[in-house]
């Protein structure tokens, strides 16, 4: 037992505060460590008024958690315990579990953002088999794996009190997710389940449950694609209890959006749908819009960061003219411009139910903003921090696998040149393979818009080449929109930080960018100026930090150009053999000669054969193709960091 006389000054201060507190007691962000938690635990022994204890975002470890747990074995007033975002591991969780076996007052326990693994989760699950009061358990963002999830599943088969279980953002795989799904076939108490980041197979396992379970009302999944979205949509056509569905931060495209749209046309229970941070695009938005014309239940819809442009916005705006149930629409971080804003304004003139619409970080000018403001009536809307549309035109077009196959076919078929006066010889397939291995092209998408002040590193995720070989990074392009800031000399300088797989800094330099216009800056880095690029591999991290006078960045993209790397070895030092596919090499980035900096710098279909001819000439001479052109401009609209591959 910790005596008052042996306490430090800080411990005594904490002890006195909690001893004299009433009802809810909270001290977030107070740098409370284990010693402080022990003092708080002692203070609670003399307090019979506190009903809630919140110590989130402190530095409490296992010892502090153990002290609080011991106090709660005898405390009979606290019903809510919040220890989110501390440093509690398995030992601390096991101590809390022992308390749950005897405590009869705790109702809600939040342990998000700690370091609890399978052992801690198993202990808590065992305790909840006998506990008869806890209804809410939160273990989001810990270190639970399949063993911990399986233990939770076994608990759910016998526990009749738990109504909310949050296990998202852990390390739960298919086995753990499927175990939980099986338990829900017999559980009749759980209402809310968060399994974000369980993956595609785990999401598929939930579909059968949704057809059978009649108690679950809130379900959150994450990082699923079209196939999983289609399966879930089919299941929900017969489910009559789910009211909230979150499928954010995934890979749902047009096909998945079409399936969800079909669901919305027949489902009469779902009232809130979160599809934020997917890839449904304009086509998916069209499908959702059609569903909104007949759906009479949905009140909240999240479509933020979905690559929706003016066409998709116009379609949904038309639907809003007849829809009379939607109350809140999240549309942040898309590609909506003035044409879409004008359509939304027109919808506002007749729609009387939409209360809040969020359009932050789109591409709407003052003209579109004013149109919405004049027509919104008493509606609430957010239309701040609009991104300069030219930021998107600077992104090189992204080559798809079909594009690469098209180029390969041209190599082997002897294409006619642009001036129609000569032909290139048809090449043997083995030579075409060599050329494709040496070619450089932009491919893939990995990072989208950013909130102001967000300068977290981006992990390099480079897809394999068309023949399955690994790849290596060849260049880094950075485009930044600094918004409405007033620039001073030096504002166009930012720091580039490169970390390896373990997070250790391998390179740090200041980059001098070029102002494209009043708010946009851009730079392209090549090995000649930044040799560390030759060493970057999948799993490394690239971080860009703003200068002191221009921190508030509305939008930022990092684009990686890469080269085939079949043996996984670092590129030998030496001069670059290729001109950059877009901005010139070096640390200063300007528009290519003869190219309007306001339009896309990628090749068009008309340029395909002539650009290919120049590349073939170089390749046959023993040098790699300059660039493989894309077959269409769909990826140009992606607001993201692309990966340029070879």
DSSP for 316-367, please give it: HHHHHTT--S--EEE--SS---HHHHHHHHHHHHH--S--EEE-TTS---HH
Residues 572-585, mean pLDDT to the nearest whole number:
35
Answer yes or no: do 375 and 420 share one domain: no
Q: Please tell me the predicted confidence (pLDDT) of residue 422.
A: 62
Residues 148-165, mean pLDDT to the nearest whole number:
98
Q: What is the pLDDT of residues 276-314, one digit of tens each?
A: 999 999 999 999 999 999 999 999 999 999 999 999 999
Residue 555, phi then psi, degrees to nearest 5: -155, 135
In-domain check, residue 99: no
Q: Please tell me the predicted confidence (pLDDT) of residue 592.
A: 28
Answer yes or no: do 528 and 625 share one domain: yes
Quote the CA–CA distance of 92 and 69 in Å, as a whole number.
8
Instruction: Give residue for tokens 């670059």.
Output: 576
Instruction: Give residue for tokens 């708080």.
Output: 40
In-domain check, residue 504: yes
pLDDT over 70 percentage in the chain: 72
The domain boundary, picked from 344, 367, 386, lies at 386
Quote the CA–CA distance of 275 and 261 in Å, as a whole number.
12
In this structure, the strands spanning 136-138 and 164-166 are parallel
Residues 431-436, mean pLDDT to the nearest whole number:
75
In-domain check, residue 1: no
Residue 340 pLDDT greater than 60, yes or no: yes
Confidence of residue 517 (pLDDT cuts 50, 70, 90): confident
Residue 205, phi then psi, degrees to nearest 5: -65, -25
The domain boundary, picked from 386, 421, 437, lies at 386
> Are the C-beta atoms of 39 and 9 separated by less than 8 Å?
no
Quote the CA–CA distance of 275 and 239 in Å, as a whole number.
19
In-domain check, residue 175: no
Q: Please tell me the predicted confidence (pLDDT) of residue 112.
A: 98
Q: What is the pLDDT of residues 521-536, one digit of tens each?
A: 778 888 888 888 888 7
Residues 403-424, mean pLDDT to the nearest whole number:
71
Q: State how many domains the chain has.
A: 2
Q: Please tell me the predicted confidence (pLDDT) of residue 153.
A: 98
> Are the C-beta atoms of 339 and 309 separated by less than 8 Å?
no
Answer yes or no: do 536 and 411 share one domain: yes
More confident position, 612 or 134: 134
Residue 473 pLDDT greater than 80, yes or no: no
Q: What is the pLDDT of residues 483-498, one digit of tens each?
A: 655 444 445 677 788 8
Closest by CA position to 600, among listed 558, 637, 557, 559: 637
Highest mean pLDDT among 194-198, 396-400, 547-551: 194-198
Residue 476 pLDDT greater than 90, yes or no: no
Answer yes or no: do 419 and 471 share one domain: yes
Q: Which two tokens stand for residue 39?
A: 């003092």
Confidence of residue 438 (pLDDT cuts 50, 70, 90): low
Give Cα 456 distance to the centre of its chain: 12
3-class SS letters over 101-121: CCCCCCCEEECCCCCCCHHHH
Instruction: Give residue for tokens 């003219």.
Output: 321
Answer yes or no: do 381 and 472 share one domain: no
Q: How many degrees, rounded to 5, is the angle at CA 569 between CA 466 and CA 508?
A: 105
More confident position, 492 or 169: 169
Cβ-count burial 614-624 (b if 16+ within 10 Å, e if not) = ebbebbeeeeb
More confident position, 582 or 199: 199
DSSP, residue by residue, 540-605: -EEEEE--TT----SEEEEEEEEEE-TT-PPPPS----S--SSSPSSS---PPTTS-TTS--SPPG
Quote the CA–CA distance of 215 and 223 in Å, as a whole number.
24
> Are the C-beta atoms of 135 and 107 separated by less than 8 Å?
yes
Answer yes or no: do 313 and 366 share one domain: yes
Region of poorest pLDDT, from 47-56, 298-307, 409-418, 427-436:
409-418
> Are the C-beta atoms of 6 and 33 separated by less than 8 Å?
no
Q: Please tell me the predicted confidence (pLDDT) of residue 417.
A: 61
Which conformational region is residue 144 in: left (phi greater than 0), alpha (psi within -120 to 50 degrees), or beta? Answer: beta
Confidence of residue 549 (pLDDT cuts 50, 70, 90): very low
Region of poorest pLDDT, from 79-83, 230-234, 310-314, 414-418:
414-418
pLDDT over 90 percentage in the chain: 50
Burial of 610 (0-12, 13-18, 19+ CB in 10 A): middle
Q: Which two tokens stand for residue 211?
A: 């057809």
In-domain check, residue 102: no
The mean pLDDT value of the chain amounts to 79
Quote the CA–CA distance of 383 and 372 in Å, as a whole number.
9
Tell me which H or E stretch contains 98: helix 90-100
In-domain check, residue 146: no
Q: Which two tokens stand for residue 490?
A: 């030096």
CATH of the domain at 302: 3.80.10.10
Quote the CA–CA distance of 600 and 541 in Å, as a whole number.
27
The domain of 332 spans 224-386
3-class SS letters over 228-265: HHHHHHHHHCCCCCCCEEEEECCCCCHHHHHHHHHHHH
The structure's pTM equals: 0.76
Within 414-537, residue ranges assigned H as helices are 429-438
Answer yes or no: do 576 and 444 share one domain: yes
The domain boundary, picked from 357, 386, 415, lies at 386
Closest by CA position to 452, among listed 555, 335, 307: 555
Answer yes or no: do 399 and 336 share one domain: no
Confidence of residue 618 (pLDDT cuts 50, 70, 90): very low
In-domain check, residue 608: yes
Answer yes or no: do 439 and 569 share one domain: yes
> Are the C-beta atoms of 597 and 516 separated by less than 8 Å?
yes
Strands (E), 175-236: 192-194, 218-222
In-domain check, residue 380: yes
Answer yes or no: do 612 and 558 share one domain: yes
522, β-bridge pairs: 479, 514
Residue 626 pLDDT greater than 60, yes or no: no
> Are the C-beta atoms of 257 and 284 separated by less than 8 Å?
yes
Half-sphere exposure of 219 (CA within 13 A, CB side): 26
Answer yes or no: do 401 and 366 share one domain: no
Answer yes or no: do 379 and 484 share one domain: no
Tell me which H or E stretch contains 382: strand 380-382
């Amino acid at each position: 037992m910790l005596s008052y006389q042996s306490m430090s000054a800080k411990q005594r201060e904490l002890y006195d505060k909690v001893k004299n507190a009433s009802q809810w007691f909270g001290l977030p962000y107070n740098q409370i460590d284990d010693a402080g938690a022990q003092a708080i635990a002692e203070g609670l022994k003399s307090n019979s008024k506190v009903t809630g204890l919140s110590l989130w975002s402190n530095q409490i470890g296992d010892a502090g958690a153990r002290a609080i747990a011991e106090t709660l074995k005898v405390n009979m007033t606290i019903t809510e315990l919040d220890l989110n975002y501390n440093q509690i591991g398995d030992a601390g969780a096991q101590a809390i579990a022992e308390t749950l076996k005897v405590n009869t007052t705790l109702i809600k326990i939040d342990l998000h953002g700690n370091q609890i693994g399978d052992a801690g989760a198993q202990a808590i699950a065992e305790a909840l088999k006998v506990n008869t009061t806890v209804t809410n358990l939160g273990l989001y963002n810990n270190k639970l794996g399949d063993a911990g999830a399986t233990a939770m599943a076994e608990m759910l088969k016998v526990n009749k009190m738990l109504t909310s279980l949050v296990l998202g953002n852990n390390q739960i795989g298919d086995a753990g997710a499927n175990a939980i799904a099986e338990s829900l076939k017999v559980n009749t108490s759980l209402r809310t389940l968060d399994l974000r980041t369980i993956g595609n197979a785990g999401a598929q396992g939930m579909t059968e449950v949704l057809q059978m379970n009649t108690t679950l009302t809130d379900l959150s999944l994450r990082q699923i694609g079209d196939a999983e979205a289609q399966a879930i949509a089919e299941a929900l056509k017969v489910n009559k209890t789910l009211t909230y569905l979150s499928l954010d931060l995934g890979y749902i495209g047009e096909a998945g959006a079409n399936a969800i749209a079909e669901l919305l046309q027949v489902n009469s229970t779902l009232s809130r749908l979160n599809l934020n941070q997917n890839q449904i695009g304009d086509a998916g938005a069209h499908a959702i819009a059609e569903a909104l014309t007949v759906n009479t239940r949905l009140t909240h819809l999240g479509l933020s960061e979905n690559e929706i442009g003016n066409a998709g916005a116009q379609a949904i705006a038309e639907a809003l003219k007849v829809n009379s149930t939607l109350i809140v629409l999240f549309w942040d971080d898309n590609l909506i411009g003035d044409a879409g804003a004008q359509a939304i304004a027109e919808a506002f003139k007749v729609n009387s139910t939409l209360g809040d619409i969020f359009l932050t970080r789109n591409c709407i000018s003052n003209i579109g903003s004013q149109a919405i403001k004049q027509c919104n009536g008493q509606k609430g809307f957010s239309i701040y921090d609009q991104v300069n549309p030219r930021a998107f035109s600077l992104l090189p077009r992204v080559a798809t696998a079909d594009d690469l196959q098209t180029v390969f076919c041209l190599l082997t078929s002897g294409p006619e040149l642009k001036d129609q006066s000569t032909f290139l010889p048809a090449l043997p397939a083995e030579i075409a393979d060599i050329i494709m291995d040496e070619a450089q092209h932009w491919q893939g998408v990995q990072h989208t818009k950013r909130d102001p002040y967000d300068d977290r590193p981006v992990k390099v995720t480079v897809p394999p080449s068309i023949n399955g070989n690994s790849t290596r990074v060849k260049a880094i392009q950075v485009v930044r929109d600094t918004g409405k800031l007033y620039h001073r000399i030096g504002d166009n300088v930012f720091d580039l930080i490169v970390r390896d797989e373990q997070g250790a800094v391998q390179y740090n330099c200041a980059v001098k960018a070029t102002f494209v216009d009043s708010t946009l800056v851009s730079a392209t880095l090549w090995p000649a100026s930044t040799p560390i690029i030759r060493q970057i591999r999948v799993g490394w991290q690239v971080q860009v930090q703003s200068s002191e006078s221009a921190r508030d960045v509305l939008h930022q993209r990092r684009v990686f150009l890469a080269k085939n790397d079949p043996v996984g070895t670092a590129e030998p030092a030496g001069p670059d053999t290729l001109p950059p596919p877009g901005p010139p090499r070096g640390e200063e980035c300007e528009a290519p000669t003869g190219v309007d900096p306001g339009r896309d710098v990628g090749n068009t279909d008309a340029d395909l054969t002539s650009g290919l001819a120049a590349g073939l000439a170089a390749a046959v001479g023993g040098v790699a193709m300059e660039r493989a052109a894309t077959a269409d401009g769909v990826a140009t609209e992606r607001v993201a960091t692309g990966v340029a591959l070879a």
